[in-house]
Amino acid sequence: MKILVTGGCGFIGSNFIHYYLQKYPGDSLINVDKLTYAGNLKNLSALSLSPRYTFIKGDIADPLQMEEIISQGVEGIVNFAAESHVDRSIEAPVDFMRTNVFGTFVLLEALRKVSSKRPIRFLHVSTDEVYGSLGETGAFLEETPMAPNSPYAASKASADLMVRAYHHTYGLPNLITRCSNNYGPYQFPEKLIPLLISNAIEGKTLPIYGDGLNVRDWIHVEDHCRGLDLVLHRGKEGEVYNIGGQSEKTNLSVAKTILDHLGKPHSLLRFVTDRPGHDRRYAIDFSKIQKTLGWAPSISFEDGIRQTIDWYQGQQEWWREIKTGEYLDYYQRMYGNR
C-alpha cells in the first residue's frame, strides 16, 4: 500500500511516519511538506536512505503538484499539513486560511479528479478546538456543534466541513479525526510542553497564560498515531472519530510537574497576560472509537511526560538550534512585554 502523508515533517506527522513504516514493512510512504518554520527534515533523517520513504518538498495549496503526486498510485492520504499555533493565528490569520482551508480544498479537488478512476481513502487530521470551550463538566462528542473561538480553530472547522461536504456530495471515502492536545518527541518548542521543558532546562522563566487554570486533555503522540492508523484502515467512511487522552490537566499543574521532574524551583513560573479568547477547558469523549475500533490510550500522562522530558534533555542540540533567530523574535513579541 502506498500512503501519502502531508505535513510529515511536523510534530505529529513525523511521529506518524516513524510509527507507520515500522508497523507496515510492506508499505511505502510519500511525505509532502512545504518546510515552513515548524517543518524539520531532521525529524526524519533516520529514514533518508529507506527505499520505502520518499520526501517531496511541496505545498498542498498547489493544485497541479497535488494532482500529479496523488496520481502516482497513492492508495491512502493522511492530511497533517496545517498551520497549528493559536497565538500565530491571532497574529497572522491569513496563513491559516491559505493552508488549512484552501490547501484542504485543493487536496479534495485533486482527490475528486483521481478518485473517478480508483477510490483513495482520505483521513483529515483535525482538532478538538473546533468544538470551542467547555464548562467545568462534560466532554466533546462527535455530535457536539462546532463553535471555534480562534482563527486557527475556525480554519480547522472550515476544513472539516469541506471534507464532510466532499464525502456527501461526491462520494469521496473521507474520514475525520479530532484529537486532544498532543505531546511527545519532535514537538516545536513554541507549544506549551516543549516550551516549558526547554525553558526549565535553560533555567529561564516559564510563561503561564492568565491564572494557569485552563484545562487541556493530554494525549501522548504515540497513542494518537495508533488511533489514526485504526481509523485510516478500519474507520467507516464519512465518519468523525474523537481521539482523547483521558488526562485532563491545568496548564499550571503541567508546568509544576515539569519543574519537579527537572528539580527546578517553582519560582521560575511567570504569569503573563492571557491570550485573547483563550478557551477555558477541553475534554474528549472517545467512546466511539473505543467501541467501534477497540482503541484506548495506553500511555499515562505520568509515564508520557517523564519520557518526553527525558527526550528533550537528550536532544538539546535539536531544540537549541530551533530556539534562535525568528523564534526568539516571536517569543519576545508573545511574552516579552507581558
Query: In this structure, which amino acid lies at residue 29?
Result: L
Which residues on adjacent β-strands are paired with residue 206? Answer: 269
DSSP helix/strand/coil, 41: helix
Q: Which of 83, 87, 129, 222 is catalytic?
A: 129
91 CB neighbour count, 10 Å cutoff: 13
Q: Which of 131, 152, 166, 282 is catalytic?
A: 152
Task: Report phi then psi at 30, rounded to 5.
Answer: -110, 130
Report how far residue 57's alpha carbon sits from residue 65's, in angstroms, rounded to the nearest whole number.
10
Q: Which residue has the cell 514537538?
A: 187
For residue 203, being part of any structural domain is answered with no
Nearest-Å Rg of the Cα atoms of the chain is 19
For residue 233, being part of any structural domain is answered with yes
Q: Which of 59, 128, 142, 279 is catalytic?
A: 128
For residue 35, being part of any structural domain is answered with yes
For residue 324, being part of any structural domain is answered with no
310 is catalytic: no
Report how far residue 332's alpha carbon sits from residue 276's, in angstroms, rounded to the nearest whole number.
17
128 is catalytic: yes
pTM of structure = 0.96
In eight-state DSSP terms, residue 288 is H
For residue 83, being part of any structural domain is answered with yes
For residue 307, being part of any structural domain is answered with no
Q: Which domain holds residue 77?
A: 2-183+220-243
For residue 321, being part of any structural domain is answered with no
pLDDT in tens, the chain (338 residues): 999 999 999 999 999 999 999 999 999 999 999 999 999 999 999 998 999 999 999 999 999 999 999 999 999 999 999 999 999 999 999 999 999 999 999 999 999 999 877 889 999 999 999 999 999 999 999 999 999 999 999 999 999 999 999 999 999 999 999 999 999 999 999 999 999 999 999 999 999 999 999 999 999 999 999 999 999 999 999 999 999 999 999 999 999 999 999 999 999 999 999 999 999 999 999 999 999 999 999 999 999 999 999 999 999 999 999 999 888 888 888 887 44
When divided into structural domains, the chain yields a total of: 1
152 is catalytic: yes
Give the CATH number of the domain where residue 79 resides: 3.40.50.720
Q: Could you tell me if 3 and 77 are in contact, meaning their C-beta atoms sit under 8 angstroms apart?
A: yes
CA distances from 270 to 84, 191, 205, 262 (A): 24, 16, 6, 17
Report how far residue 66's alpha carbon sits from residue 53's, in angstroms, rounded to the nearest whole number.
18
For residue 331, being part of any structural domain is answered with no
Q: Could you tell me if 44 and 55 are in contact, meaning their C-beta atoms sit under 8 angstroms apart?
A: yes
Query: In this structure, which amino acid lies at residue 160?
Result: D
